[in-house]
Structure formats: C-alpha cells, structure tokens
Chain A
Amino acid sequence: MPLNTRTYSDLNMSFTPNPITQDILKVTGPNSVVQAVVNLVQLSHYDKPFHPEIGSNIRSLLFEQLDMVTADALAKEISYLLGNFEPRIKTKNVIVQSNSNLDGYDIEIEFYLLNLTSPLTISVFLQRLR
C-alpha cells in the first residue's frame, strides 16, 4: 500500500478477537491516535525499558494538593508530553480543572490531527487511586 494512502491503525487495547477470523481487532484513523494519546498520558517515566525520558510526572502530581497550581502543572506536563512524543497531533488546548467533589481532575485535551481540519477533543477524568 503506498504511504500516502496509509491510515493510522493500531491494535485495539481490549485485545478482543474478531469472532470470525480470530484476529485481534484494530482501531484505525483518529481513534487510533486518540488511543495513543490516552496511553501516553498514563505513561510514567521509566515505564518504557531503557527510555526513562518517555513519560510524564502526571501520576505523582495526582498526589499533590488538589488545587489550581497542581492543575496548571498537570496541563503543562500533558502539553509537554504530547508535544514531544506524539508527532501526529498539534495540541490546541489542554484544560485541567480540579474537581474537589470527586477528588480528581477533569482534563480536556483539544488537538488537531495532522491532515484533518476539525479539532478532536478527549475528555479524561484523572483520580489518584492509591
């Protein structure tokens, strides 16, 4: 397949088999990129073997005090992470709001997928578990 027609395609992280072929399902196009962005946000330093620079400090930030300062730090971490390690997107906006009722952060990542005119938005709620 020529490169200019290639679409993004990745394994579906649910690892569900296709009921007929028994192959693991794929995610393609923007969904594949969205899945990668969510994965990246959840990646800590030293998660990848021999590459401690890939990842972010987000997990430990969740254990900081729940306030605007930490929210701002989270936003910067996410922007830095996506800017460096996800070349397929151009981040438009990262909005992090502390949610004291649920003891976590509402995170909205707005980005452009390269060669796609309309922005995509991912909404994640991050909460410390332990």
Chain B
Amino acid sequence: MATNNSKLQLTNLDFDTIKSSLKTYLQNQNEFADFDFEGSGLNVILDILSYNTFYNAFYMNMVANEMFLDSAVLRQSVVSHAKLIGYTPRSAVASQAYLNVTITKTPGDNTRVLKIPRYTQFAAQGANNTSYSFYTVDDTVYVQNNSSTFTFTNVLVKEGLPVTKSFLYNQATNPTAYFKLTDVNLDTSTMTVGVQTSATNPSYNIFSLAQDATEVSKNSNVYYLEEAQDGTYQIYFGDGVLGAALSDQNIVTVSYLVTKADLANGCQTFALQSQVLSGSSSNVSLSNMNNPSFGGAQIEDIASIKFTAPKSFISQNRAVTVNDYINLINKNYPYFNAVNVWGGNESSPPVYGVVYVSAIPKTGFVITQAQQQYLLNTVLKPISVLTVTPKYVNADYDFLNFTVNIMYNPAKTALSAQQLQSAIGKSIQTFSNQYLSTFNSSFYYSKFLQYIDGTDNSIQASQATIYLQKTFTPDLSNTTSYNLNFGVPLHRGTLNDRLYSAPYFNLNDQSGNQQQCYLEEIPFSFGGVDDVQIVNPGYGYASAPTITISGDGKGANAYPIIVNGQVTSVVVDNPGDQYTTATIAISGGGSVGTPAVLTPILLGSTGTLRTYYFDSMSTKKILNNNAGKIYYSNGMISLINFGPSNVGSSDQSLSIYAQPQDSIFSSSQHIVLAYNSNDSSALNINLTPVSS
C-alpha cells in the first residue's frame, strides 16, 4: 500500500492545480512512479479524479453563489431571496396615457348617464408607425345635465391586450390554492381577481392584493402574488387565518393586461375602436393628444432586484429617508432616468413638513402635469409618513455650452479636420454621459480636457471656455420679476466674459419705440466700495460722524446711521471706482467714548444687469441700468420688472449665459447639469493645426 505523510491542498478550484496537487501527494509514495507521464494508466486515473473534484468544486461554488442575494445569478434564485425579505419584483408596466373624451349626443337622444366601460379599446400610433391598443382599466361614469355633450376628462388608458383566465379550484388536486398565470409581460398593477362561489352559485367576491400581513384577517378577501420560477406570476389565497380561504369548486377569475411595456411609450395619436358608447360613438372626439403615452417599462431585471430588495426591506415600504423615496419611486414608477429627493429643511428659507421630489424622465426634460399628479397621489401618498407632504419640483437644467480650442498636428492623424471635430464631439458626449445629466452631478474641468485630449493622438493641447445656459419663457403680456437659479457660484464678469442673453427681446425705449434688446452684466471695473463692515460700532455719538474713504480709487462716499450713540449701519451712496485698496476714517459726531472702526468691502457679492439695444446708427444704447441682480455666490439671477412684448426665438424662450466661477462645480436639489448635443450652438470647436 502507498504510504504518505504529505497533505493535500484543499483550496484549489481549477483542474490543473487540483491535478498538480494530487501529483505532489503521489510524489511522496513509493508504490507508483508513473503519475507524471501523460500516457500512463495512473495519469488517466488522476485525470478522472481531478475532473470529478473540479466538477464538484464548481457545482458547490455555484450552489453557494445562488444561496445569497448578492452573488446569485439565476433569476429564480434572486426572486426567491427577494421573497424572503418581502419584496415582489416589479412586473412589466403598461404604457399609459390620459385622454379627454367628448361625446356629442345625436339630436333627440335623451341619455343623461353615460359610461365608458372597462376595457374600452383605443388604437394608437407609436414610433415607426407601429399600432398599439390601449384600454381603459376602470369604468368611467359621467352624469350630464342638459348639455348636448358628455366630456370625460383625463380618462386613463393603458396599453396591452386584456386577458381573462378562470380556474376551477379543486381542493384535492390543488391543496395550496396556487394558480399559475402563464403569460409573460403581464402588468400586475392591472390585475383584478374575483371568486365565484361555484358554477351553479353566481355569488361573486372581488379579492384585492394583500399588501400588509398585519392588516389581513381570516375574513379578508385578499390574494397573494409572487413571481413564479420562469418569470411568470402566480397567485395564491389565504389559509383561513391570513386571508379568506377558498372553498372547493370556487371559480377564480383573473384578468390583466399583457403589455408591450416600454415599446408603447410615446404614442400620440389615439382613436376609439370599441363601438360601445351608448349609440353615440360616431360623435366621439378625443383631445389631450399633446401628452404622449408614458410609463411603460420592462419587467424588473436582476440587477435592479438585487439593488432594490434590501433597501425596500429596510424602508418597510414606507418613505422616511431620502433613499426610501428614491427606491420606492424607482420601484413603483419606473419612468425616470434619475430621481432626487430633499427635505424642505434644506431649502432656503427652510420649509418644514415638506419633502421635495424632482425627476428626470427617460425621454425629454420635464414630466407632464398628469405624470406629476400620478407620482404624488398614486405613488408617494400611500407610502409617505403622516404630516410630511411630498411636493414635486420640475428639474431645472443648467445646459453647458463649450467653446473648445484645440491645437493638433494633422501629420499625426488620418482624420480630416471635420472628422476630428466630430470625434471630439463624441468624446464630450461620452464625458456628459459619465458625469452630467443627472442630479447631484459634478463638472470637472480637468477630466473634461482629458476626454478631449484622449480623442486622438494628434491633439497637442486643448483649452475650453464653459458657459452655463439657463432658458426660460417670459410672460409676454405682463411685467413681472423672475428668479433664475443656476445653483452654482457664478463668475464675476469682466469686459470679455460677462453674462449675456440671447436671442433679442422687445422692449420700449424712453420714446415709446420698440427696440430689440439684450441683457448683460455691467462689467466689473476695479472695485468700488460695495459695503462697509462695522468692526466696532463705537460709543457715545451725539450726531452722525463724517466718513472719509481714501485709497487708490476715487469717488467713494458713505454715511453712517447712528442709533443710541452707536454706528448701526453704513449706507454707501457712491461706490466709486478704481479701488484696489481703501481705508475709512471717521471724524466728528461728538463721540465721548470709543470711536467706531469701519472696514470697506471692495469686492461685492452681487452684480447688476442692464438692458441695452443698438439704435439705427448701430450705437449701443443703455435702456435700463438696473434691470436685475446677480448673486454670484449662489448663482441666482433676479430680473426686476421684466416685461418683454416678444422674444426672437420660435418658442419665445430666452436664454441667459453665464460662466461658472470655478472649474469644478456641482449641482444639488433640482438643478441638473446637462449637455444638450442636439443644440448645435452648445459646442464650438476651433482647431488650430500645428506642425510639431
């Protein structure tokens, strides 16, 4: 018999190291010596041993992986782990739309009550002229007085194919009362379940989905829903303790929509298909077509289940923390690319008892009013904590505009200048996808240049100027004030890099003539005195002392306000200009105590906007020297009494462009830093060929 004192390695997992370990083991025995030769019989046996060990190791590894939510790769394992923590993965979601339906009665028709029944069919055209069927999911009843029309507003329709299945419950063959729904892509939110007592007894009860086991009693008409092993769903019923139990020969009827999920998003043209509307169907008109169908989504994927299930467990389906809100919105309303939530206490000024929600849709930039209402009332209200009111704030976009100057060596690239420009554009898009277009995003100038420089070997050097673009649509019939929030600190402009607006807007000049005007920041010349800081208010002033500002500039003038013998504030009535340094001397006032100490503040935190136009001689004329304020530190622009009669863009929108103060800046709350590659003016690339 072979004798051996060496130890086998147990941690090897691949075939070669297992075999090598066995050979090492055999090296110390004296019975057989041929294990290391490929043709030997012993080597063949080692192959079999190693293969078997490897196979078992792999299998055990797979089994171990599937035992944990983090490492499981099979959908049925992930779903099963999620089930243990009370999480049912979201099914496919049908695309939905809200329609206004107007039905005109035929003369002589005395109908007063009209119903649009459940599963009334509407045909819709989607992208690429594909047809989709939308159905109402509930009955809508309208009682009308004497009008000749019935108007149904915001009728909810969902895309899909209605499916109804009936099961005869046989206690002997199906003791656990499980019923499998074999359709894939069914939308479980459209599911209705009813139970008829028997084929001969038409008594019928509606069962609802059990949401919370603590609310379920032995008489509750509830059903439970879970994902079956192959991605389909199955329902089951209570056992007489947690929910009413079925009786033998009950007939279970389940109806739901089988959807095409996100494919049906964006349908705009709807037409009534069903001929069931009270004999008046020929007089039906539909409106509200401007809000295309939305909200359709594929069944929740494995990565999403792994991410969401533990968080859902922590939040217990209640929205308390920021992450609760974000995860529950993503789970229940998977229509958004990104969601941000912040408490009202973080607002300025703080608003208590309110939580703000903002979202970026998967297509476009803002979500419609109907979607906001659905989000607030259907998704958030049931899960929000009492006394906390969710409010929706539209995402506010800072579009980044780039002027990029590139030096490149044409001898080092096969690309033409145009192709190089196009490649740089793609690099910037990649940068944008990586860092921008979401909430709490940051712009890094150095990384931005890295993406540009990495486009092609021929690029020798690059430099970029960044402007933030804020677009708004002013009220053309009223004069009002506007606050535009860039949300990032803004650069205090000089002659060449000051804030500006585009396109033109019309205002009346002093003579009442309409002029094509623009906004601009009044360029900042070397510091006037913007403010005076009171270091020591002094004591015992009988009257206001005289303040003298001296320095290397000229013209600054200020006077103090005295209350109870102390300087409480200083009014700068002329900031002066050309100051780089200044001091303040105080004289007079009859002080008998300590004199006040004042320090001038040269760099102000605000800037001023003005409107201007060019007259018929192309001379620049200033219309209003105080059209608004710029708060550089928080990026707020305030337009005062702004009332243009027209804006020179097709959609009447006006854009304001300002440079950020820093080369690294971040957005927060509802502000989104974005790059719109569809806007040709957002990117300007200047290529300069160099020879080395």
**Do residues A36 and B40 form an inter-chain contact, with CB atoms below 8 A?**
yes
**Do residues A85 and B39 form an inter-chain contact, with CB atoms below 8 A?**
yes
**Do residues B30 and A86 form an inter-chain contact, with CB atoms below 8 A?**
no
Other-chain contact of A85, B32, B38, B45 (Cβ < 8 Å) = B38
Q: Which residues on the B side are within 8 Å of A50 (C-beta)?
A: 15-16
CB of B185 within 8 Å of the partner chain: no
Q: Which residues on the B side are within 8 Å of A95 (C-beta)?
A: none
**Do residues A39 and B40 form an inter-chain contact, with CB atoms below 8 A?**
yes
**Do residues A10 and B41 form an inter-chain contact, with CB atoms below 8 A?**
yes
CB of A99 within 8 Å of the partner chain: no
Check A10/B42 contact, CB under 8 A, given A36-B34, A49-B47. yes
Q: Which residues on the A side are within 8 Å of B1 (C-beta)?
A: 23
Q: How far is the CB of A99 from chain B (nearest CB, A)?
A: 25
CB of B504 within 8 Å of the partner chain: no
Other-chain contact of A36, B15, B30, B39, B54 (Cβ < 8 Å) = B39
Q: How far is the CB of B27 from chain A (nearest CB, A)?
A: 10
CB of A59 within 8 Å of the partner chain: no
CB of B461 within 8 Å of the partner chain: no
Q: How far is the CA of A39 from the CA of B40 in the complex (A)?
A: 7
Q: How far is the CA of A38 from the CA of B15 in the complex (A)?
A: 25
Per-residue 0/1 for B639-661: is the Cβ within 8 Å of any A Cβ (1 yes, 0 no)?
Answer: 00000000000000000000000
Q: Would you list which residues of chain A between 1 and 42 have a CB under 8 Å from chain B?
A: 1, 6-13, 23, 26, 32, 35-40
Q: Which residues on the A side are within 8 Å of B31 (C-beta)?
A: 9, 26
Per-residue 0/1 for B42-73: is the Cβ within 8 Å of any A Cβ (1 yes, 0 no)?
Answer: 10110100110010000000000000000000
Other-chain contact of B40, A6, A10, A23 (Cβ < 8 Å) = A10
Q: How far is the CA of A48 from the CA of B48 in the complex (A)?
A: 9
CB of B33 within 8 Å of the partner chain: yes
Per-residue 0/1 for A85-97: is the Cβ within 8 Å of any B Cβ (1 yes, 0 no)?
Answer: 1111000000000
Check A86/B50 contact, CB under 8 A, given A1-B30, A11-B32. no
**Do residues A9 and B15 form an inter-chain contact, with CB atoms below 8 A?**
no
Q: How far is the CA of A7 from the CA of B41 in the complex (A)?
A: 16
Total count of chain B residues near the partner, CB < 8 A: 20
Q: Which residues on the A side are within 8 Å of B50 (C-beta)?
A: 49
**Do residues A40 and B39 form an inter-chain contact, with CB atoms below 8 A?**
yes
Q: Which residues on the B side are within 8 Å of A32 (C-beta)?
A: 34, 40
Check A86/B41 contact, CB under 8 A, given A1-B30, A49-B15. no
Other-chain contact of A6, B33, B41, B44, B51 (Cβ < 8 Å) = B33
Q: Which one of A10, A26, A39, A40 has the greatest number of beta carbons of chain B within 10 Å?
A: A10
**Do residues B33 and A86 form an inter-chain contact, with CB atoms below 8 A?**
no
Q: How large is the interface on A (under 10, 10 to 19, 20 to 34, 35 or more residues)?
A: 20 to 34
Chain A interface mostly: loop
CB of A54 within 8 Å of the partner chain: yes
Check A39/B41 contact, CB under 8 A, given A49-B15, A49-B51, A50-B15. yes
Q: Which residues on the B side are within 8 Å of A37 (C-beta)?
A: 39
Q: Which one of B31, B37, B42, B54 has the greatest number of beta carbons of chain A within 10 Å?
A: B37
Q: How far is the CA of A12 from the CA of B46 in the complex (A)?
A: 15
Q: How far is the CA of A39 from the CA of B41 in the complex (A)?
A: 8
Q: How far is the CA of A49 from the CA of B38 in the complex (A)?
A: 12
**Do residues A11 and B41 form an inter-chain contact, with CB atoms below 8 A?**
yes
What residue in chain B is nearest A38 (Cβ atoms)?
A: B39
**Do residues B45 and A11 form an inter-chain contact, with CB atoms below 8 A?**
yes
CB of A66 within 8 Å of the partner chain: no
Q: How far is the CA of A105 from the CA of B410 in the complex (A)?
A: 68
CB of A43 within 8 Å of the partner chain: yes
**Do residues A88 and B41 form an inter-chain contact, with CB atoms below 8 A?**
no
Q: How far is the CA of A40 from the CA of B43 in the complex (A)?
A: 11
**Do residues A11 and B42 form an inter-chain contact, with CB atoms below 8 A?**
yes
Q: How far is the CA of A2 from the CA of B103 in the complex (A)?
A: 104
Q: How far is the CB of A29 from chain B (nearest CB, A)?
A: 10
Other-chain contact of B41, A1, A13, A23, A48 (Cβ < 8 Å) = A13
Check A86/B47 contact, CB under 8 A, given A9-B31, A11-B32, A50-B15. no
Other-chain contact of A87, B16, B37, B42, B51 (Cβ < 8 Å) = B37
**Do residues A9 and B39 form an inter-chain contact, with CB atoms below 8 A?**
no
Q: Which residues on the B side are within 8 Å of A40 (C-beta)?
A: 38-39
**Residues of chain B at the chain A interface (Cβ within 8 Å):** 1, 15-16, 30-34, 37-42, 44-45, 47, 50-51, 54
CB<8 Å pairs between A and B, sample of 21? A8-B33, A10-B33, A10-B42, A12-B41, A13-B41, A26-B32, A32-B34, A35-B41, A36-B38, A36-B41, A38-B39, A39-B40, A39-B44, A43-B38, A48-B47, A49-B50, A49-B54, A54-B38, A85-B39, A86-B37, A87-B37
New A-B pairs, 18, CB < 8 Å, besides A7-B33, A10-B33, A85-B39: A9-B31, A9-B32, A10-B40, A12-B41, A32-B34, A35-B41, A37-B39, A39-B39, A39-B41, A39-B44, A40-B38, A48-B38, A48-B47, A49-B50, A49-B54, A86-B38, A86-B39, A87-B37
User: What 4 A-B pairs are tightest by C-beta distance, nearest first?
Assistant: A40-B39, A36-B39, A10-B34, A39-B39
